[in-house]
Amino acid sequence: MTDPVRVAVGTPLPRELRPLITGVDSRIELLVDDELLPQMRYPGDHDGDPAFRRSEKQQAAFDDLLTNAEVFYGIPDTRPAALAPALRANPNLRWVQTMAAGGGAQVKAAGLTEDELARVVFTTSAGVHGGTLAEFAVFGVLAGAKDLPRLQELQRARTWPERWAMKQVSEQTVLIVGLGGIGSETARLLKGLGATVLGVKRTAEPVEHVDEVHTDSALPELIPRADAMVITLPGTDATTGLIDRDLLAAAKPGIVVVNVGRGTVVDEPALVDALRSGRVSSAYLDVFATEPLPADSPLWDMPNVLVSPHTAALSPAEDRRIAELFADNLRRYLDGAPLRNVVDTRDFY
C-alpha cells in the first residue's frame, strides 16, 4: 500500500491528539476541518455542542470531506442516520471506527445492506472504557454491601440509629453477566476484594479471576447464589430483556443489581417491582432502556436506586485512549493485519 490513506474525522477530535494518527505513517492524510465540527463540552463528548448547526455550504463541504476518505474516524456526527448516505456516496470507503464501545448497535441502526456491511469493516472502542466502568461496577457492589441507601436516608432524617452489621464483599458471591473487557476487569477488582466471582458468557471457557464460568443458560441456577449481580452486556437482539421478571424472582432475596452494559438487557418494570418488594435491595444503574431516562420513570424517586446519567464510562483520558486504539488499528490496516474490535455484522456485537 503506497497511495495516501485519507482518514476523515467525523466527530470532534482534540488537536493535540491528531499527531497520534498522522504519526502512524507518512501515507496518512487527515481530512479534518474544525469549522465543520461542533465544539466538545467535556472529555469524551463525541456528539459535541447540540446547538451546533452547519450552513448549507458547510454541510456540502463536510459531505465532500467524507466522500474523499478511505477511513472514517467516528460515525459522522455519531448519528447512525448519517452513516448510510455517507457510505453510499463513497465507494472507496473501507473502514469506520466508532467512538462507542457498543458501536455495533449504531451500525445496525444505520440500516445498511448486506453488500454494504461486507464492503466496509466497522470497529469499536471496546476496551477503552473497561477500567472506568469496572470501577463503577465495584462501587455499586460496595455501596450495596455497605447499605448506602439506608445511610443516605438516615442522614437526611438526621437520625442516629442503633448500630447494625454491614456486609463484607469478601464474604459475598458476585455474578457478572458478560465477561468481555468490562466484565473481566470487574472480576479482577472484585477478586482483589476477596469476593467469589461467578460469570456468564457466550462460551464457557475459563476466565482469569472468575471462579466459575457458565453460559447464559445457567443464569436461573446462578442467580439464587449471588449477593450481587453486575451486568456488562451490550444491547443486541439476543440480550434484550435477558434479565426478566422470572429471573429476578429467582434471585436471592436482597440481591444488589448493577448495570453498566445496556439498559435494554433489563426488563425495567420487572426491576422496579423487584425493588419495591425487596427482592432487589438496591440498584446502581448507569444505563437505561430509554435515554435520557423519562421524567415519569419510577426509578427517579426510588430511595434504593442510584441513577447515573450514562456517564460512568467517561474519563479525562478517553479521547486519548480512543485515538491510541485507532492508531494501533491503523498500523494493522496498513500492514494488512486483522483489526481489533471488529463488529460482528450478524449479531452487531
Whether residue 341 lies inside any domain: the answer is no
Catalytic residue at 310?
Answer: yes
Q: Give the mean model confidence (pLDDT) for residues 37-58.
A: 96
Catalytic residue among 54, 245, 310, 340: 310
Give the domain extent around 43.
5-127+315-335
In a shared domain, residues 29 and 139: no
Whether residue 148 lies inside any domain: the answer is yes
Whether residue 346 lies inside any domain: the answer is no
In a shared domain, residues 185 and 302: yes
75: CATH: 3.40.50.720
Contact 306, 140 (CB under 8 A): yes
Catalytic residue at 209?
Answer: no
Catalytic residue among 16, 153, 171, 291: 291
Q: What is the pLDDT of residue 102?
A: 87
Whether residue 349 lies inside any domain: the answer is no
Whether residue 249 lies inside any domain: the answer is yes
**DSSP 8-class letter at 261:** S
**pLDDT tens figures, 88-138:** 999 999 999 999 988 999 999 999 999 999 999 999 999 999 999 999 999
Catalytic residue at 262?
Answer: yes
Map residue 164 onto helix, strand or coil. coil
Catalytic residue among 129, 209, 262, 279: 262
Contacts 24+ apart (CB under 8 A), 86-94: 86/10, 87/112, 87/116, 87/120, 88/116, 89/63, 90/66, 93/69, 93/119, 93/120, 94/70, 94/119, 94/120, 94/121
Whether residue 202 lies inside any domain: the answer is yes
In a shared domain, residues 118 and 261: no
Q: Residue 136 CA to chain centroid, in angstroms?
A: 12
Whether residue 118 lies inside any domain: the answer is yes
Contact 17, 30 (CB under 8 A): no
pLDDT at residue 2 tops 90? no
